[in-house]
Amino acid sequence: MPGRANDLIQIPASFWERPEVVAALRNRDIGRFFALVQQYTGASQTQIGIACILPQGKVSNIVNGIQQVEKLEVFDRIADGLGLPDPARISLGLAPRRSGSPRAIPVPQVPSASGLFTLDEGDREEDDSVRRRTFVGLTGATMVSAILDGIPRPRPPADAEALAPVLTGHSVDPAALEAPPDIRALTTAADDARRHYQACRYSDLVPLLSGLLGRLGAACQLLDGDDQLRAFTLSADAHHVAAGLLLKLDDRGLAAVAADRSMRAALASQDPVTVGASARVLTHTLMNGGHLTAAVTTASSQAQRLDHDITAHTPESLSVYGALLLRGAIAAAQRDQRDTAYQLLTEADDAAQRLGVDGNLRWTAFGPVNARQHRVNIAVTLGDAGTAVDVARGIDLRTITVTERKASLLVDTARAFLQWGRHEKAYIALRAAEEVAPEEVTGRPSVHRLVRDLITSAPPSIRRDAEQFATQIGITQ
């Protein structure tokens, strides 16, 4: 009879000696192995998943032959999670770790999402075995493994070089200027670009954008009337995405070009909401270039302009208005203008309460939860690590539907823990971010710098794990 998720998985010593178990391990047939664990222990797929830090859906796919386990780190995680004795580890092709003996495998309960943010009195750096158990529990708390299904694995970092010719006007597809533009198809493609960005699928986003930007440029020239205005709106949005991606990749030069093109197209669209949306990425670009005064001024003035131009706010305009205020608050915090930052945050909170929900309208992800996320970022930027963790403690990750925003919260939390000297929890938060959004971690130089800071400042026991993590995500020391 299948056990409950919080029961122990009891694996008797005789299990490891069964010929079918040895054969499954030697063949690295994890689907067969999991099925045998279920058969002889009564463990459920959920129990196995929690023990091995795998979502239940993935365990089911592995058992049914839909997915295969191929990565060494996953084999190692399974071996640790199910307590494989050394002979079984060797059969699986792993190095022996400790003398094997039958034991009860505790399946960590999935605690509340605040578990990652809890600092007990006397919190200290823990030994390897304790830290492994903590990581299992806390990644469960952040729903990285035990709740989220089908998480993509790391891919090579996105290369934005393909965007340079189209952004600088040196790559024009003659066919795009000859064929009648299909505004519906362009709308679908622009929405796809946004989805890729918010899902942190950056390596897929680059080729999509490189073709889309040129087609939108042609549409803006060839269309007229309402269709042309719509094309300008789509062009503003697509260049906004391009600028955001380039900023993540630390390509400030091309990001500035893309942000400028976004604003030019927005102005041509004659839509105040589109202008406000493009002002967000323009503010972000100024901020990343060190022009903090201009960034704060741009965000504040454009938010006021949008508020003035809209007679009665719609949910879309309110989302853009609030998101613009939040961007200005971050710029003010980076300039160490604490009062201005919190004033803009308060105004954004008011807009979020008026909106009522995090609806991701106009691809802003704006709402009450999103506003609280920005409080975490601003607090750690101002050096208030304790406040950042305290705010993060009240955020349920299940309420964050945009992957990029979820990963950003985990990275900001890692920054706060590192600032506070809680190296182990900084490491756990970074691992969780990588599980949620691999490309947000592997492809972002700013996250690489954070990992290097962790390696530099952490005690030896955690430094070893951080160095292995750095190697895993492609950081060169």
pLDDT in tens, 211-238: 999 999 999 999 999 999 999 999 999 9
Pick from 21, 185, 169, 41: which is nearest to 103 by CA?
Answer: 41
Cα–Cα dist 345/367, whole Å? 12
Could you list the pLDDT tens digit for every one of the 477 residues in the chain? 444 444 568 899 899 999 999 999 988 899 999 999 999 988 888 889 888 888 888 888 899 888 888 888 888 889 988 999 988 988 888 877 644 333 444 433 323 334 455 444 344 344 444 344 334 333 333 333 333 333 344 455 567 888 999 998 755 566 655 678 899 999 999 999 999 999 999 999 999 999 999 999 999 999 999 999 999 999 999 999 999 999 999 999 999 999 999 999 999 999 999 999 999 999 999 999 999 999 999 999 999 999 999 989 999 999 999 999 999 999 999 999 999 999 999 999 999 999 999 989 999 999 999 999 999 999 999 999 999 999 999 999 889 999 999 999 999 999 999 999 999 999 999 999 999 999 999 999 999 999 999 999 999 989 999 999 999 898 876
Length of the chain: 477
In which residue are the tokens 């020239």 written? 221
Contact between residue 79 and residue 94 where contact means Cβ atoms under 8 Å apart = yes
pLDDT at 170: 57
**What's 399's DSSP letter?**
G
Residue 465 CB contacts under 8 Å (≥ 6 apart), including other chains: 128, 131, 427
Contact between residue 233 and residue 252 where contact means Cβ atoms under 8 Å apart = no
Q: In this structure, which amino acid lies at residue 124?
A: R
Pick from 231, 222, 313: which is nearest to 276 by CA?
Answer: 313
Contacts 24+ apart (CB under 8 A), 173-177: 173/211, 173/214, 173/215, 173/218, 176/214, 176/215, 176/217, 176/218, 177/218, 177/221, 177/222
Taking the model in full, what pTM does it have?
0.71
User: For 253-291, what is each residue's pLDDT tens digit?
Assistant: 999 999 999 999 999 999 999 999 999 999 999 999 999
Q: In this structure, which amino acid lies at residue 225?
A: G
Q: Is the dihedral of CA 141, 153, 196, 379 positive or negative?
A: positive
**Phi, psi (rounded to 5 degrees) for 10:** -95, 110
User: What mean pLDDT is reported for the chain?
Assistant: 85
Q: In this structure, which amino acid lies at residue 364?
A: T
